[in-house]
Homo-oligomer: A and B are copies of this chain.
Amino acid sequence: MRVSIREVGPRDGLQNEDPVPTAAKVELIDALSGTGVGRIEAVSFVHPKAIPQMADADEVWAKVTRNPAVRYSALVPNVRGAQRAIAAGFTEVEVVISASDTHNRRNINRSTDESLAELPELIETLHAGDATAELIIATSFGCPYEGDIDPARVASIVDKAVGMGVDRVAFGDTTGMATPRRVRDVLDRVTREKPLLCHFHNTRGTGLANILTAVDLGVTEFDASVGGLGGCPYAPGATGNVATEEVVHMLHDMGYETGIDLDRLVEVAELAQRIVGRELPSGVLRAGPRYRTIA
């Protein structure tokens, strides 16, 4: 069976690291484009004061060597960002709304419903610019402020967004609060009318267990970050996104196909580690894939 991985290291990863030079971002994206990965979230078009790590998004994207076999995407916070993404030539765009009111307010000073009310204009802008719109529902499996999030609330947000014409839906495990039980609770509840993607963080070690659960429940699209780039803004020093090579390593051994060359991916994880200048948390980066035996 085929599983589609979207590499989010250049965006969600680097957004949570100390800023790195534009050239290093371009080098990372180009290296990832050569691994066989089918999708890369390359940049986000956010206000540079909010996220200085992404201030050079236009320049990065202009310098990237686009591989026609790769679907590149950008994350945007609002209509202004959507316009920038379209102007830059993106045809796939992600927007984030948090299932947790408190989390959404702390991030963008709006309730979840207020953000949802702005979604139709955003979708319309993207569709008018020939781009698809994906809604990422942050804190789908728990909120660092509110704790548990009612899966019915997540399901209701999916219904509303699908009704508004969103093309895809992603469930964000923003601070790594998902466990197999929470994954099941959400996935059992939500409509499958549009393609679903899961975005897990490995903050509490459950990343691959959650992916295993989601795969068992029929989800075939996952975000992951090379080397486990990124961190958790709520717990300094904690792990962020699941590491792409750990995900690929497990799925390949289980017989799933991703199209990714794992050995090349591990080399890119080494590059990512050099770029950020700190030891990344990926076990497959450190120990190598299980098939590398001692001579």
Q: Which residues of chain B are near A281, meaning CB under 8 Å?
A: 281
Q: Determine if A69 is an interface residue (Cβ-Cβ < 8 Å).
A: no
Q: Are A144 and B294 in contact (CB under 8 A)?
A: yes
Copies in the complex: 2
Decide if B253 touches A176 in the complex (CB within 8 Å).
Answer: no
**Is A282 part of the contact surface with B, judged by Cβ < 8 Å?**
yes
Do B235 and A203 touch across chains, with their CB atoms under 8 A apart?
Answer: no
Q: Is A77 an interface residue (CB 8 A)?
A: no
- Contact partner of A232 among B181, B232, B287, CB < 8 A? B287
- Asked if A209 is an interface residue, CB under 8 A from chain B, the answer is yes
- Cα A232 to Cα B287 in complex, Å, equals 9
Q: How far is the CA of A235 from the CA of B144 in the complex (A)?
A: 35
In the bound complex, how far is the Cα of B191 from the Cα of A59, in angstroms? Answer: 61
- Assess whether A177 is in contact with B147, with CB atoms less than 8 Å apart: no
- Contact code string A254-290 (vs B, CB < 8 Å = 1, else 0): 1100000000000000000000000101111011111
Whether the Cβ atoms of A235 and B288 lie closer than 8 Å is yes
- CA A283 – CA B237 in complex, angstroms? 10
Q: Is the CB of B293 within 8 A of A179?
A: no
Q: Does A205 contact B (CB under 8 A)?
A: yes
> Any chain B CB within 8 A of the CB of A213?
yes
Chain B residues within an 8 Å CB radius of A179: 249-250, 253-254, 290
The stretch of A25-33, A45-53, A128-136, A238-246 in contact with B is A238-246
Name the residue on B nearest A255 (C-beta): B181
A205 to B243, Cβ gap below 8 A?
yes
Contacts of A213 in B (CB 8 A): 212
- Known contacts A179-B253, A205-B250: does B147 contact A235 (CB below 8 Å)? no
Q: Are B182 and A253 in contact (CB under 8 A)?
A: yes
Q: Given A204-B246, A205-B242, list of 10 further CB < 8 A pairs?
A: A145-B293, A175-B287, A182-B253, A204-B249, A208-B208, A209-B211, A209-B212, A232-B287, A235-B287, A239-B286
